[in-house]
Amino acid sequence: MRDPDGLIARAGVRGDPDRDQHFLVDDRVLDRLPTYLTETDADTSHILEIGGGTGALTDRLLAVGDEVTVVERDRELAAFLREEFADEIDAGELTVVQGDALKVELPDFTASVSNLPYGVSSEIAFRLFPEKKPLVLMFQQEFAERMVAEPNTSEYGRLSVSSQHYADVELVESIPKEAFSPPPAVQSAVVRAIPREPDYEVDNEDFFLRFVKALFTQRRKTIRNGIRNTAHISGLAEPEAVVDAADEDVLRKRAGAMAPSEFAALAQLARDVGGPIDE
C-alpha cells in the first residue's frame, strides 16, 4: 500500500482546514476502512469514493474493488490522482472525476467508502442513501452519533429518523484527531449503512421526510402543538384536521420519543386528512 505521508509529499500539498481538507494518514485506520465493507459480503465490483484527496484510501480500495471511481472537487488533487494512479487508470481499474460530489453525475456504483468533507457530509450522505447501496462513511463524531441514535436519547432527532429510514446504520469506529493531517478540531467516526426496506410503509417519501423535519423544529413541544405550528414547513393545508384525527397518546408525545414507524403512521394520517398543498 502507498504510504499516506509519501502521497502528500509527492502531491506537494498541505491540508487546508479552511477548505475542509484533512488528509487521513493513519495506516491502521486506512487499512481497516475497506474491511467494514468486505466483511458484510457487499458487492465490491464498483466502489465509489467521495473526496479522494491524495489517494491513500483510493489505493486501499483498488485492492478490494474491481473498479473504483473517485470524485474529487479540488482540480490540483484530481490531476495528481490521475498522475499517481496512471497505471490503474490505463488498466480500467480507476476513474477520477473532478467536480462537486453534490452536482456531478454519479456512476452506477455498488458500494461507497469515503472520508467525506465534513462541511457537506450531510448533503452527500443523503444523496447516497437513496441509491440503496452499502456505505462506509466518515463523519464528525457528533454527527455520526446522531445518525445512529435511538428514541428518547438526547442525540435522537431528524437525522436519526432520516438515516434509519434508508438503512441499518452502525457506528463502527471512532477516529482520533491525530489520524489526520492537519488534525481537525473534532473527533471523527465511521458509520456503516446497510440498505434495507423499512418495517413500515411510506406512500410519499418526500412528504414523510419533510413532516419529520417539521416536527423536530418543535422538539420541545408536544406533537399536537408541533403539527399546528409547522404547517409552513410540512406543507399541510389542514393541520387542525390532523390533530382532530390523531390518537391522543401520540399527540401527547414529543418528537424525541417517536420511533420512525410512529412518524410514518402519523405522516400517512396527515397526508390523508391534512391535504398537503403540493399534492
Strands (E) in the chain, as ranges, are 23-24, 47-50, 68-72, 94-98, 111-115, 135-140, 167-175, 180-181, 188-195
Is residue 29 within 8 Å of residue 175, measured between CB atoms? yes
CB 139 within 8 A of CB 189: yes
Q: Under DSSP, is residue 111 helix (H, G, I), strand (E, B) or coil?
A: strand
Pairing assessment for the beta strands 111-115 and 94-98 based on DSSP bridges = unpaired
Grid coordinates representing 163 are 438515516
| DSSP designation for 118 | G
List the binding residues: 22, 24, 51, 72, 100, 115
Residues in CB range of 123: below 8 A, 6 or more apart: 102
Distance between CA atoms of residues 73 and 149, nearest Å: 31
Query: Which residues line the annotated binding site for S-adenosyl-L-methionine?
Result: 22, 24, 51, 72, 100, 115
- Which residues are 50's β-sheet partners? 71
